Structure 1
Amino acid sequence: MSETPGPDRSGPTAPADAAERLVDLLDLERIEENIFRGHSPDESLQRVFGGQVAGQALVAAGRTTDGKRPVHSLHAYFLRPGVPGVPIVYQVERVRDGRSFTTRRVVAVQQGRTIFNLTASFHRGEPGFEHQLPMPGVPDPESLPKLADELREHLGSLPEPLERMARRQPFDIRYVERLRWSREELRGVDPRSAVWMRAVGPLGDDPLVHTCAVTYASDMTLLDAVRLPVEPLWGPRGFDMASLDHAMWFHRPFRADEWFLYQQESPVATGARGLARGLLYDRWGRLIASVVQEGLFRAVD
């Protein structure tokens, strides 16, 4: 982690206890060899947040390795909605321990039913040639409003559920472009979105925690790009949304408590499914991760 500078806390941040809750959420209990248990906040949500399950599953996978090989990819399926407030058990299969690569398969079980599975690969790291797509030119995060402030400005004040969510949100999110509030404003809008994000407080120095925190965050706004041409991002939803599958590739070391730009786009939506892909850049323009996800979009009657 030495090549990436530590967190800059010179600007305003949200309460650090939200970041501490995220670290606690990712700190699984070891029940048995290769079996871990994660808690799930008892919140007023229809289902457990998918990024939480993915992040916890990746922690479980990482806890069965020697810790010397960083995660380089994950591939996952969301099979059933998780129930908030009910613990989730993660069962890890040690598929392979090679000289360069380590592979783990994780099954998440809740109330006796499989709700999620994930395959993760860890790579020792080797020298090689390099190239990357450049980071797009966007405003600095400090020049953009926090999401909660932007919502308050438009709504006057946040409804209690949104206010509570804003207080507990472990990531500071800032949209690069202003939010649109009506379908008329969305006419001709491309299926693209971009946000700056960072954890609202320090997350410590364990690289696995930072990787799993970014995995958590990667599920927060990615499907925005699918919805943008159809409906405003904040307001009554015309669709019941659910993540179907999720894949990530990690390219370089990074810190989740430093700003990263999440550039998102949707190449296609059809058959009640929308595909989204994202590129994550650190503050210095280095491409740190790539993401692809498909989501389900069913019209609400």
Structure 2
Amino acid sequence: TANQAFDLNDMGSGCAGNTALGRYFVGIAHYQRNELAKAEAALLPALDPACAPLLGYRSEISIALAAVYQALGQAERARGIVDELCRHLERNEDLPALFRARAYQADLALRQGRTADAANWACNFDPGPVQFAYRFFNAPHLTLARVWLAQRSGESLDQAEQLLRLLESQLTAGNNHRFLIEVLALQAMLACLRGDQVATGERLARAVALARPGGLIRVFVDLGQDLVRPLKRLELARDAPRYLAQILSGLNDELLLSSGRRQLGDDLTRRELRILKLLALRLSNVEISEELCISRATVKRHTQNIYRKLCASNRRDAVTRASSLKLIGDR
């Protein structure tokens, strides 16, 4: 649906701002499927001044792009984008956009282990009478629930339970599956903290069932390592092992990247590195197969593995990312 909307705008039926918004929705669709290079490729041009997105939309695009860089292990780059966005919105006195940006600032702080920063935001956040109307990338009330879960006190867990129950009711009534999935996963985490394995499995099973048709992965990965054990228990009881394996793989990659134990491209083989260098020389698959005396099908398989390991969507992305990671020499 996002691609169809973008194509219509790109053909001239919408203004430049609508084209940027189309790129935004394409980008977050790719992000949720953990297709990070495609997400980055969709979002970056949307910030071009020629696209002329409204300030509020520009803020949402920046937040989504920061999430992509965080997922790629570029934590400082992600933090820099959001911190600068908050300063810009404060100068422009755009309070609604600043409200959402500061919430994502806290969300990012949680993911980067800066729990004190996130708790400070939560202390100054007034949940008010909850009317859930979020349509974009992040939801401040869910960030608040995540902070309360991270604090793990009896009072904070009770607050999280009450808020999540209210959000579940509203999201179910409004058929907002994207955020309902996240609420159910957070409820599973809460039940797990309280030692209720039955409720943990039931909530997580509902979340996975809703997320599976669209192949959503990041909605679980971004909630962190507390979901690993419940998901592994669920894997034994459900009939979707491949989808669950993709989520668990994403969680494992997130752990390795955030802990500094793995960088993008660390798992490239010698042959893949050799092919990368030939890609940098702009050789075609036919020329590479002749150079290395392997079949074209083998070259294609290797290039697909390279794209996956570098989170790239094509050979140009792969070469650019490999150069920035110093996996190949300067071109």
Confirm or deny a common fold (TM above 0.5). no
Structure number with greater Rg is 2
- Provide the TM-score with structure 2 as the length reference: 0.21
Which structure would you say has the larger RCO, counting Cα contacts within 8 Å and 6 or more residues apart?
1
- Provide the TM-score with structure 1 as the length reference: 0.22
More strand by share: 1
